[in-house]
Amino acid sequence: MRIGIITGASSGLGRAYAKHIDKRMELDELWLIARRETRLTALADTLDHDCRILALDLTDRESFDLLERTLEVEKPVVSVLVSAAGFGKFGEAQDLTAKETEDMIALNCHAAAEVTRLCLPYLHRGSRVLEIASCAAFQPLPGISLYAATKAFLLRYTQALRHELQGRGILVTAVCPYWLKTEFMAVARDTANPGAVRHTPLAMRPEAAAAWSLTMNGLGAGVVTCGPIPFVMRLGGKILPAGIPMRIWDNIRKL
């Protein structure tokens, strides 16, 4: 059985990936993972593929145990894995609660790495892996310091994973988009200091980011920036001392 696994599939970029993969790949099933079962069911009703709904909270250890058992029973070929589960909170480090700090690290870092680890035995030559990082990964960003740090972890993890899996013929890509027009903004502003980032201009549609990154992953790209702004941020992060992009960002976020 050839399957696709998409975490964070109930909304935003994860949902966009589900729709594009449904149209572009021939699979036996799509496994849709997120906390909100009703949203996953509603999404499944719009897709042509058979879908397996896994209503899992990826900040809970038991969710990984359930996924592991399901994989062991079904023994599928994971043809595509998209780790899109994640969230962010605007605010400086002192503004975040203990739970916000813990959950952001758990979901953005641990969940992505653990779901990937569980899927590794089921990836075959030609399988595709997309880990959803962010252009925030390219430099430290005051005001969203923890979020940016979690995405930096995921970027580096994915780059090393790509190297590790090259011999198996598996395509691995770190996806690093700019702001997206999703529920991310409402969640990010529901914090003690929502004004830490006052504006998020030029946000792009998640459908465009999903389509472009799937195409580039198929071509073997290791990092996909999904637009000119994140490309410039990636370039700046390579050639400039970290203090310069931080100062530029620190001024922009307060406009």
CB–CB of 130/78 below 8 Å?
A: no
Q: Which of 17, 147, 157, 178 is catalytic?
A: 147
Catalytic-residue membership of 122: no
CB–CB of 131/184 below 8 Å?
A: no
Six-digit token string for 68: 């592991």
Rg (alpha carbons) of the chain, rounded to whole number = 18
Where in the sequence numbering do the catalytic residues fall?
A: 147
